């Protein structure tokens, strides 16, 4: 399972990258705004900086909702850097755009997926990634991890090559459960990734080792 970080914060991206386990980045206009990046030129430059920092796919989201506008915006994003993946919303015009991008060799990430039916449409349209938002599904009193399992089973049966990119990760446990459920990729805040390091027995064991080493000195 690949690890992406969901942020536009360069310091967090670098920290995750320095761990040696980072495979890519997902970001969007909201995350850009959080770090003070606003305006088309600034956003474009920031996407380029991120893509040059990480050796992996970087999802850059369109803000258009009409087919022709999505295509034009997607072509501009694609031109920024070879690692850019165009993130397209799960809407009717988005499905049409996914097919166009697929036919023209532009990688895509279909975002805002909340059902297996939507995931089937994205795969049929040729999306490289489908992004089910498991945390938001949990918020609506449904089971986001169950959706990951369902999509993984359908894709396996049907032979779809679209990768399942579990999004809206809320905790380290979400990451572990996504791995169990068959996700190909998770995109997560840095906090949840670093949370995988933590276990009280590790802390206790390390403290004992250090105490013993000090006694031997």
Please, are residues 193 and 216 in contact by the beta-carbon 8 Å criterion? no
Question: Taking the mean position of all CA atoms in its chain, how far away is CA 16?
Answer: 14
Long-range contacts of 171-180 (CB under 8 A, 24+ apart): 171/195, 172/196, 172/198, 174/134, 174/135, 174/145, 177/145, 178/1, 178/134, 178/145, 178/148, 179/1
Instruction: Kindly name the residue from 14, 38, 87, 198 that is annotated as catalytic.
Output: 87
**Cα-Cα end-to-end distance for the chain:** 42
Question: Taking the mean position of all CA atoms in its chain, how far away is CA 87?
Answer: 10
Strands (E), 51-189: 57-61, 84-89, 108-113, 129-132, 163-166, 185-188
Q: Would residue 214 show up in a list of annotated catalytic residues for this protein?
A: no
Please, are residues 88 and 108 in contact by the beta-carbon 8 Å criterion? yes
Residue 140 has what DSSP assignment? T
- What would the two tokens of residue 65 be? 């909702």
The set of catalytic residues is 87
């Amino acid at each position: 399972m690949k690890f992406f970080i969901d942020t536009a914060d360069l310091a967090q991206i670098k920290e995750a990258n320095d761990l040696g386990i980072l495979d890519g980045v997902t970001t969007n206009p909201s995350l850009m705004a959080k770090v003070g990046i606003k305006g088309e030129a600034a956003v474009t430059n920031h996407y380029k900086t991120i893509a040059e920092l990480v050796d992996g796919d970087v999802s850059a989201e369109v803000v258009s909702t009409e087919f022709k506008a999505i295509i034009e915006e997607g072509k501009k994003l694609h031109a920024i850097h070879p690692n850019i993946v165009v993130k397209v919303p799960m809407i009717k015009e988005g499905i049409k755009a996914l097919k166009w991008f697929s036919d023209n060799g532009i990688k895509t990430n279909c975002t805002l997926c909340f059902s297996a039916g939507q995931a089937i449409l994205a795969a049929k349209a040729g999306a490289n990634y489908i992004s089910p938002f498991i945390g938001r599904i949990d918020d609506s009193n449904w089971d986001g991890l169950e959706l990951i399992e369902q999509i993984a089973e359908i894709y396996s049966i049907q032979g779809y090559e679209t990768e399942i990119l579990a999004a809206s990760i809320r905790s380290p446990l979400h990451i572990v459960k996504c791995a169990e459920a068959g996700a190909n990729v998770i995109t997560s805040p840095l906090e949840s990734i670093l949370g995988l390091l933590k276990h009280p027995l590790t802390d206790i064991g390390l403290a004992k080792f250090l105490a013993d080493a000090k006694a031997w000195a």
